[in-house]
Each structure stands twice: as C-alpha cells, then as structure tokens.
Amino acid sequence: MSFREKIHWIALVGLLSAFGWYFLNYPWEIANSPKGMYTAVWMLLPVTIIFLVPMVAGAAFFAIRSPKDADLKEDEREKGIHLRGTHLAYYPLAIGVQLNIFVLINGFNYGYAVTILIATLVIAELIRVGSQLYYYRRGY
Amino acid sequence: MPNSFAWGRSYIIIGVATDPMAQTPFTNDIRMLRFLAGEMTQGDLGDKVGVTRQTIAAIEQGKYSPSLEVAFRIAHVFGKPLEEVFQWQQD
C-alpha cells in the first residue's frame, strides 16, 4: 500500500469519527436559532482537532517508517485517481449548495444552514476519499 | 523459447483474463522481462521509469493502462521495442 493510500485511509477514518461525533451530538432542537448557529460553529473546533490529530500523527508515523515512499512524487496513475475522485465529489457539492439555497428560502436558517453546508462538504469529501480508495484498491 | 518466457507470458494472460475488474485490452511481459533482467523488483523498475511500485504492479496485472511515455520508458529500461513488452489482444 502506497504512502498516499495510507493517508487516504486515515483521512476516511478521521472524517467519519470527527463528523460522526458532530452530527450525533449537535443539539437539533435549537438548530433554527442564532444559538444553534453559534453552537454549530463552536463544535467545529473539536471536530478539527479530532480530524487533524490522527492525520498529522499518521502522516508522521508513516513518513518516519518509510521516508522513501513519503518523498515520492505523485505519478500519472495517482494523478488520474485524484482527478477522478475530485470529479465525483463535485456533484454532491453542487447538489448540497442548491439544497442549502432551497432551505434558506424556506425559512430554515442559522444552525440548519451551517449544518447543511457542513454535511455537503463532508459527503463530498467522503465520496472523494472513498472513490480514490476504491480506485487505489482496484488498480485504477 | 526458454521456460521462464512461456511461464511469464501465460501467467500474465491468465491474470488478465480472470480479473473481472477494469482490464487493459493488451497483455505485457514486464514480469518476465524483470525476471530476465536479474530479478529486478517492481520498485527498482518504478524508480527507473519514474512511477511508484504500485503503478508497476497495476500495469503488470493489466489493471492500469500506462501513458505512451511510461510505456516507452518501460521498454527503454529493458532495451526492447514497445511491441515486445506490450501486445494488443482485443480485436
């Protein structure tokens, strides 16, 4: 397994852990209020920590363990994998933004808007990282 | 024809034919050529060509179709013309 694939696995676990915690613990009863919006924004702090700490620790661990792999430049196959993953992630991102416009027009504001934007980003990232891992496993 | 040649070629064709996932429409003799080049590893070949070991493995298994540049680079490493390394199979 290449260094970049390992980093992708860590990112996938980090995304699921951090945003899994966020969506399970968000106080939905106050979502449509200014307090709901501030809570959503405040909760991004622990989410960032939960996501970044294993990413940095994992990247450092694998870089120390196999520095040659970590120094390798992205080759044509990996570039293709990354482009395909990013392309697939565009669709949920576009749909999520349109959904957010729809809910804003219909009176769901504050925490709902922030949370839907976060969910849009998370789903797009999960599709990007997940599809890239699929292509890594399949060969291309 | 040495045994290693026949073994190498048949192994690759079987490998390509039995994998239902993405397949290239050509086979290759990279595994056999590595063997004949002093049992060169996939990592060594990757270093010479400028790709990762995993990319060489994917090309060998017929899972990834390399760019023309990488295909020529691989052939150049073994000192062979392109058609001796890659053979078109699908009509």
Whole-number Å distance between alpha carbons of A47 and A52 = 8
Residues of chain B with C-beta less than 8 angstroms from the C-beta of A78: 52, 55
How crowded is residue A93: how many other Cβ atoms within 10 Å of its Cβ?
A: 16
pLDDT score for B91: 64
Whole-number Å distance between alpha carbons of A13 and A22 = 14
**Secondary structure tally for chain B: helices H, strands E:** 6, 2
**The pLDDT of residue B10 is above 70:** no
CA distances A94 to A89, A90, A110, A118, B9, Å, are: 9, 6, 20, 13, 47
Which of A73, A75, A82 is the best residue to mutate to test the B interface, defined by the most B CB atoms within 10 Å of its own CB?
A: A75
**The pLDDT of residue B75 is above 90:** yes
**The pLDDT of residue A130 is above 90:** yes
| Chain Cα centroid distance, residue B69 | 14
**Secondary structure tally for chain A: helices H, strands E:** 5, 0
Helix (H, G, I), strand (E, B) or coil at B28: strand
DSSP 8-state symbol, A10: H
What's the pLDDT tens digit per position in A22-41? Answer: 999 999 888 888 898 899 99
Could you tell me if B67 lies within 8 Å of chain A, comparing CB atoms? yes
Tokens 């990354």 label which residue?
A82
- Fold classification of B3-85 (topology level): 434 Repressor (Amino-terminal Domain) (1.10.260)
Domain count, chain A: 1
The fraction of chain B above a pLDDT of 90, given in percent, is 66
Which of B60, B64, B69, B72 is the best residue to mutate to test the A interface, defined by the most A CB atoms within 10 Å of its own CB?
A: B64
Tokens of A115: 């949370």
Domain span holding position A117: 3-138
Q: What is the ipTM of this complex?
A: 0.76
Q: Are A23 and A64 within 8 A, CB to CB?
A: no
Q: Are A134 and A45 within 8 A, CB to CB?
A: no
Closest CA to A43 of A101, A111, A107: A111
Helix (H, G, I), strand (E, B) or coil at B90: coil
Q: Are B75 and B48 within 8 A, CB to CB?
A: no
Whole-number Å distance between alpha carbons of A132 and A127 = 8
pLDDT score for A118: 92
> Nearest by CB to B67, which of A76, A138, A139?
A76
Kindly identify which residue of chain A lies nearest to residue B52, measuring between CA atoms: A75
The strand pairing partners of B27, in sequence order, are: B87
pLDDT score for A108: 80
Whole-number Å distance between alpha carbons of A10 and A126 = 12
What's the pLDDT tens digit per position in A56-93? Answer: 999 999 999 888 888 888 899 999 999 999 999 999 99
